[in-house]
Amino acid sequence: MKRRSAAISSETVALDSLDTNRRITRSRLSAGKGAPNEESVAQEDASPPATARAKRRSTRGRGRGRGGRNGAKAETPVKAPLEATVQLQPEDIAVLPQEPASYAPFEPQSETQLETQLPFVPPTMSQNDTQQSYMPMSQFMSQPVPQSQSKPHAIHRSFTTAAALSSQSNPGRRRLLASHIHDVPKGPLPAIDGNQISSQAPGLLPAASVEQDEEEDEFMEHNEMSYYTQRTKFPSTPGPEENPRLSLSHPDYGLPPSLVANLAKMGINSIYPWQAACLLGKGHLTHEKNLVYSAPTGGGKSLVADVLMLKRVLYSNKKAILVLPYVALVQEKMKWLRKICENLRRVSPDDEVEEEEEAWADHSKKRILNGKLRVTGFFGSSRSRASWVDTDIAVCTIEKANSLVNNAVEDHTIDDLGIVVIDEMHMLDDEQRGYLIEIMVTKLLLLRQEIQIVAMSATLSNTEVLARWLHANYYISKYKPIPIHEHIVFNNAIYSAADSKQFFAQMHPKSQGKGAMAPGQTQLQVVSENKSSDSQDISSNAVPSHQITYTTFDEEMKARVKPVRVIDKSSFRQLQPATLNAMVALAIETVEAGYGTLIFCGSRQVCQNNAMLLADAMPNIPELDPELIEKRRDLIAALSSLPSGLDPVFAKTVMRGVGYHHAGLTTEEREIIADGYDKGVLKVMVATCSLAAGINLPARRVILCGARMGRELVGPALLRQMRGRAGRKGKDEVGETYLCCIKEDLSAIGELFQAEMPAIGSGLSPEKRGVKRALLEAVATHLVASHNTIWEYMQCTLLFHSMEMKDLQPIVEQAIQELIDSNLLVQDEDGFFEATTLGQAIVAASFSPEDGIHIYEELKKGLRTFVMDGDFHVFYMFTPLQTDTNIDWGVFRDQMNLMDDSTIRAMMFIGGKPGVINSASLTGKGPSDENDLRIYKRIYTALQLRELSNEVPISDVAAKYNVPRGSVQNLATTCHGFAWGMVRFCQRMGWDMLAVVLEHMRDRLEAGAKADLLEMAQVAYVKGPTARLLWENGFKNLKALAEADAKDLVPVLLMAQPRSSREFKSSEGALSSQKPGRLEQKMLERAEIIVASANRIWEREMEYVEIEE
């Protein structure tokens, strides 16, 4: 097949993703080239690639797909089903599947910056394909193109249940609903009533939608039930067999074999074409160019940044900072990176001078433990012994990352930083925390160091703006390795999301403006080329009945958009509303097929209620595989072994294969439940939207119970994240999403489906009040000192790229004046700025200027009259100013009545009034003034902190104050991080005695214990009540724990368990007579960890003693 070549400008390459045929539109060719004729095409085809890199490969005899030294075409057969290719020149713009995409430098006016390597060629699609197959890239995918399309590599099946869904196939099963989901016949809908049956016989599919092979025919003959009733055919993604550069072991990536081997152990044996094109872009692997890119959830975007980061650290004397928005993500990523970095050592460049080698060798002795890379997490209340000096890769939350950069600039160690990776870059627009990302990046841009910045997200809409700000290349990918079928569910009918515009128009015509959509109008999104390829039910036992009721549109609309399937009403119980019936039916269908379901709900309480409801519908325990039953009992034992005990909802749902996940659970509970779901022990996970933005737990089927989280409608970005959880690479062949709608939300959801992703704006905008902090940090860290340098600094902000200079200037001038008026900055006679002691203390503590001033006034007042005959006043100082604690005023009143004199005096000194608390307990409403209400929220929080520090278990504190146990744990973590800032603030202010007191109470808060147990509380799993019980039973210090026999600790650990766990222990024999003592086994494993941890700490302390001697 002839190959065509043309230089195409960035705005002229487009893919019409709605057309099943390949169509590449070229609206304008570069000047002077014109359309190539056949002669020039033939000459182009016979010649080797034009780039210098390709020429070097050709002269070395390494040209793959174009022959060896003489440039003749290779005869190696190609497996990829490719029909044609369009070769692009280096200046062309990369285009990715489904939508036009960009891969361009940030300043097109610069000739050197216009050079772009390895552009991506648009995919080709056949009429039967539902997913694009990737075309070769210029100079990257250099395999010869086959003359005709071969048979696709993979046949993908979309699952569904069959006879097992019928109650007749399992007569002993207690079913909550029939869960029959049937195909709607093609053509006009028949006029049916409630007693009429489907016009399509059960067990039959349209002939055109099924392509069975001999293997499936044999399977169907020997099995009454088939988990797969239909197959979706599409070409697989090319692998290293088709193109060697899709293997990370390829020399172009320059990765050490040990790293490639570690990635292979984690299941990463190859990369996608878009990842290869992104990595091999000009200046990326050499760390000379910044990079911004966007890829869907599950599309492999993290691996690109990981490769760039690890190569930078391994091949240079540089450090890396990886920024993530949430603590759970930091912990997950830290564990993953430690596995990847196992046994990795730095590689010195061949041309490194001898002096640098000696300096590096001397430095590595001090910094690298046993020669290994050290990955350290910096978040919340973490107190790792590792500091910035002896860390190679710092995995941080946003706040900690900004603090690390500040400290490195101030300590003149910023030269050690080589790369900064920012995941979830869309958080830049977050009102509370986004401006910290912008401040951190602005400082890095101002320094002009050799620090590569890599930013990524699944929901970036204005990537080119961010690339211009960061002086970066940008890359946009729409590729997902798993095909996703998306659906809308309304009134027990399932519609294809490909018909979303028509659906919402006919259901709510007014929401779509004048008139409904014309039959031929372009769809919003194409999910499947053949609607019959969606999941269907086939039952050979009975002919199911169904009913569809149209109540909101006329007969003309009825004929235009028809559901692809319908859901029967429950035969056991009438489930209302219809969204609830649909949720249970779809979940049961998935579980019966042997796959996982992820269900998003609008609130924590709804999560728990739906989990209980689904548990009743799950198969009875005797019908399950015995091995699966044992694994679920192990999961129950793991939950019972936690300090919080066994949650009563988990006690009922886990054995049925259902879990729930929200912020009201403790960190340990969430980890155990998530791990159980990831391993297939749990089949259904019911969660709030926090899971969509948190840890990665994809599912075969994702069900959204409405589009609201609480009372608010979700935004386009969050909706995309939730739907993006569908499909697991390596586990699922397809993914499915179902958005269950109610009538009242149809109009809003219709607008949400059509909404564009919001553009990311600056966090330093006037309404977000970030400019003052940006200026204060820059002056305090000595990055800027004059008006000229301040303006140079501001030009490095995203704000500068978002507004006119004439509008920005008064904002900056006003912020400078406010900082001077607040005694945070001073200006000398020469016009230079300097931070005051208070300003430096605020920056050191990572406070905002507003919060720092408030804290300064509180502490200054406390220094004059500090209530020192109790600990309540100190704990009050640890409570963040912006706490979102919900007060139960009745509980507050009861706890106030139990306060001692010291606590009452401290509360009244702070500003709390008993009369206000008593009044609020009667009315249920607190003070209307926000500042007054903040005081009572902090008092209520301080009472909980004091309970935790006095060895009261989290579960008891949660019950006493009527808050979820996870909220209590999160509160303690947040307050501990705030306490760290308070200590730093006092040290910088010169209030050393107060700093010592605060640091001691911070240690108590972290340990959950009184002063005499702080040494023991360093040991893993030895906190609060557990430490006290060990002390009371003879293990009174660290040495005693280190020398203990693990079996001797088990009875004490069982004593520390809550009542619910002890009840599980007593009933364990009834659950399983074959494996008694499951909880004791968990406790023995924990005891062994305790002894090992105590030994490590004891040995480390002995080493310090020897050094001092």
**Each residue of 440-455: pLDDT tens digit?**
999 999 998 889 999 9
Among positive and negative, which fits the CA dihedral 39, 42, 46, 51?
Answer: positive
Across the chain, mean pLDDT equals: 72
**What is the model's pLDDT at position 509?**
54
| Across 230-244, 331-345, 701-715, 772-786, least confident range | 230-244
**What is the model's pLDDT at position 140?**
32
Beta bridge partners of 597: 684, 701
- Alpha-carbon distance of 434 to 986, in angstroms, equals 27
Mean pLDDT computed over 929-940: 92
pLDDT band, residue 617 (cuts 50/70/90): confident
Q: Which CATH architecture has domain 766-844?
A: Orthogonal Bundle (1.10)
Q: Where are the beta strands (DSSP E) in 266-389?
A: 290-294, 319-323, 375-378
**What is the model's pLDDT at position 286?**
92
Tell me the C-alpha to C-alpha distance, in Å, between residue 187 and each of 563, 564, 697.
Answer: 11, 11, 39
Determine how β-strand 735-741 pairs with β-strand 701-705. Answer: parallel
**What is the model's pLDDT at position 46?**
36
* Domain positions in the chain: 1-88, 93-122+273-481, 766-844, 866-1008, 1024-1108
Tens digit of pLDDT for each residue in 552-581? Answer: 444 444 446 777 788 876 555 667 778 888
Tens digit of pLDDT for each residue in 983-1007? Answer: 999 999 999 989 999 999 999 998 8
Q: Which residue type sits at 1024?
A: G
pLDDT band, residue 263 (cuts 50/70/90): very high
CATH 3.65.10.10 is held by the domain 866-1008: no
Residue 156 is inside which H or E element, if any? strand 154-159
Tell me the C-alpha to C-alpha distance, in Å, between residue 403 and each of 394, 777, 793, 1038.
Answer: 12, 10, 18, 33
- Alpha-carbon distance of 687 to 465, in angstroms, equals 34
- Alpha-carbon distance of 412 to 414, in angstroms, equals 6
**What is the model's pLDDT at position 400?**
92
The two tokens of residue 1090 are 């305790």
Q: Three-class SS of residue 707?
A: coil
Residue 396 has pLDDT above 60, yes or no: yes
Neighbours of 405 (CB within 10 A): 26
| Across 172-186, 817-831, 850-864, 947-961, least confident range | 172-186
Tens digit of pLDDT for each residue in 621-674? Answer: 667 788 888 899 999 999 988 888 888 999 999 999 999 998 889 989 999 999
pLDDT band, residue 117 (cuts 50/70/90): very low
Residue 331 has pLDDT above 50, yes or no: yes
In percent, how much of the chain has pLDDT > 90? Answer: 32
The two tokens of residue 763 are 């966090």
- Alpha-carbon distance of 499 to 497, in angstroms, equals 5
Q: Three-class SS of residue 350?
A: coil
Q: Which has the higher per-residue pLDDT, 382 or 757? A: 757
**What is the model's pLDDT at position 292?**
95
Residue 947 has pLDDT above 90, yes or no: yes
Mean pLDDT computed over 810-821: 93
The two tokens of residue 368 are 């690298």
Q: What is the DSSP letter of 524?
A: S
Give the relative orientation of helices 837-844 and 965-989 as an angle to the nearest 10 degrees.
Answer: 150
Q: Which has the higher per-residue pLDDT, 1033 or 720? A: 1033
Q: Which has the higher per-residue pLDDT, 366 or 939? A: 939
Tell me the C-alpha to C-alpha distance, in Å, between residue 616 and each of 12, 651, 657, 688, 999.
Answer: 56, 13, 10, 21, 50
Mean pLDDT computed over 322-349: 86
CATH placement of domain 93-122+273-481:
3.40.50.300
Q: What is the DSSP letter of 1075?
A: S
